[in-house]
Chain A
Amino acid sequence: MKILVLNCGSSSVKFRFFDTIEQNVLASGMVESIGKSQSTFTFHNNINRKKKKYLSLENHRDAIDLILTTLSCSTSGVVKEISDIDAVGHRVVHGGETFTKSVLINEAVYRKIKACMQFAPLHNPPNIEGIKASLTLIPYARQVAVFDTAFHQTIEPHAYIYALPYKWYKKRKIRRYGFHGTSHNYVAHRAAQILGTSINKLKIITCHLGNGASITAVEGGKSVDTSMGFTPLEGLVMGTRCGDIDSAIPLYIIRKENIECSEMDTILNKQSGLAGITQGDSDLRTIERKAKSGSERHILALHIFTHRVKKYIGSYAAVMGGVDVIVFTAGIGENSSLVRSMCCEGLEFLGISIDEDKNMQNSTCISNGNTDVLVIPTNEEHAIVQEVEQVIINENQYVKGVV
């Protein structure tokens, strides 16, 4: 089966094209700056050629059209015709309470994904655009939705209901949903695989530390708590998002500085986090560099970031009654030995002890205590391919049964 994975952001489309029979990535890449004067297109095919083009792509459909044309072109293409694509897996950020697993997109699913747009007004619309573009350009392929929120649907009410008027949950569906589910699920299963232990027996804390960051308690393979909440704003300190704060602060500032709610929304999502503390630097590599050269504000930002991660590790160990494995993943988690070291400092009482040599080498296992600490590269696209394949197999079995 040939599966195309599309991960559509507000101005980008990441893709990966996979042959499940050969177990081979045929091509991958990304279109960035969609809707801007210069869009960038990066394409890697299976013989490792890369090319970058600078074009003006108006919308997601144009971007996906370019991807499909390149996948089937005579020079660098990997399929004869785009109609050879059997299925398309779409990363959908918010599936609300409706979706607890990946699903084949039919009319009802499509309507429900659109209805979830109210919960993720920045993220779900580009996901819908991706589905529409794919339907227009490859109408013969089956479309599958893989939700960021689905993995966290196993969380119990005491961990997902906020201490707010309960009617808001009933009427407005205000609750913790959690995000990065595909990544947390993938690395938790990889951790069990690496350790050669059944995931059912493990208490794992997965730290997805990228520009967006979240942390999840995974017990017996199921998400039992996660740091992101109703939106991806809650939880850890992020590149430009504040994470946990006293909710009275925005109300106080709105009154004192006489600003609109929309402006506050922008401040909390785009001008806070590491960028807010350092007054502009959201990239952790820059922050580390400046901290090493002595910038107090950057040192402070690093401490705030890692202190928050440590707090969550401690609280999730408490939630699960212990922890067997800590996993670090995503851009920062996979690459910053300093952050990993700072996050785990002082956690010896949980059996967490870092082997600094292994940590510096970015080894898979960086611990020398009772609790394993692993560095596992996340691969959301690969996880989506696996989900799509399973959905199609289940569907074929179901249809056979009906007929």
Chain B
Amino acid sequence: MPKTILIIDDDKDFQNAIRTILIKANFNCIQAYSFKQGLAAVSTSKPDLIILDVMMEDISAGFRFMRQFRNQEKQEKKATIPILIVSNFQNITGIILNDQMKTHLRLVDKFIEKPIEPEVLLENINKLIN
């Protein structure tokens, strides 16, 4: 049975590119374009993994999604769904993921900076899903 991946990213071109790669690799895809749409999508579907952007309707929307979603999982005692952040965050802001930042990002399973090679993306997805 193919695994389902939820992509939350406001960049439609990036979404479509990723979707093509994932479908070729035999994954199902759900797409959401904002923090709120992402939360709505996880409440109605059960993805096996979430690919998450950081800078959407605002510069840290992805971080807020991550915290709210993890709190929700905890409250509902649900199994943790892996989150893979794929974002331009460091390139755009110039912020380096130092230890202080990593403490906040402990809720995320992997952080990859855009642009991303298809093989690297699939390798990370497979590692996190399996």
- Which A residues are closer than 8 A to B by beta carbons? 65, 83, 104-107, 109-111, 132, 135-137, 139-143, 395, 399-400, 402-403
Contacts and interface: CB of A to CB of B under 8 A. Distances in A.
B104 interface: yes
Contact of B60 (A109, A111, A135, A400): A135
Contacts of B98: 136
A330 B73 CA distance: 50
A143 B58 contact: yes
Chain B, interface SS category: helix
B42 to A, nearest CB: 13
Given A132-B93, A136-B95, A402 B59 contact: no
Interface string B50-90: 00000111111001100100000000000000000000100
Interface bracket on B: 20 to 34
Given A139-B105, A140-B60, A143-B59, 10 more contacts: A107-B55, A107-B88, A110-B59, A136-B95, A136-B101, A137-B100, A395-B58, A399-B35, A402-B36, A402-B37
Interface of B: 34-37, 40, 55-60, 63-64, 67, 88, 92-95, 98, 100-101, 104-105
A137 B98 CA distance: 11
B36 A106 contact: no
A105 B58 contact: yes
B8 to A, nearest CB: 13
A16 B50 CA distance: 37
B93 A106 contact: no
11 contacts: A110-B59, A136-B98, A136-B100, A140-B60, A140-B64, A141-B60, A143-B58, A399-B57, A403-B34, A403-B36, A403-B37
Contact of A106 (B40, B57, B101): B57
A395 B34 CA distance: 13
Nearest to A133: B95
Contact of A135 (B56, B67, B95): B95
A104 B94 contact: no
Q: Which of B57, B58, B92 has the most CB of A within 10 A?
A: B58
A274 to B, nearest CB: 38
A89 B93 CA distance: 17
A106 B37 contact: no
Contact of B58 (A65, A83, A104, A402): A104
B63 A106 contact: no
B93 A135 contact: yes
Q: Which 7 A-B pairs have the closest CB atoms?
A: A139-B63, A107-B55, A403-B36, A104-B58, A105-B59, A106-B58, A399-B36
A389 to B, nearest CB: 15
Contacts of A106: 55-59
A132 B94 contact: yes
Contacts of B55: 106-107, 110
A362 B98 CA distance: 50
A228 B100 CA distance: 40
B41 to A, nearest CB: 10
A136 B54 CA distance: 13
A368 B99 CA distance: 62
A400 B93 CA distance: 28
Contacts of A110: 55, 59, 92-93
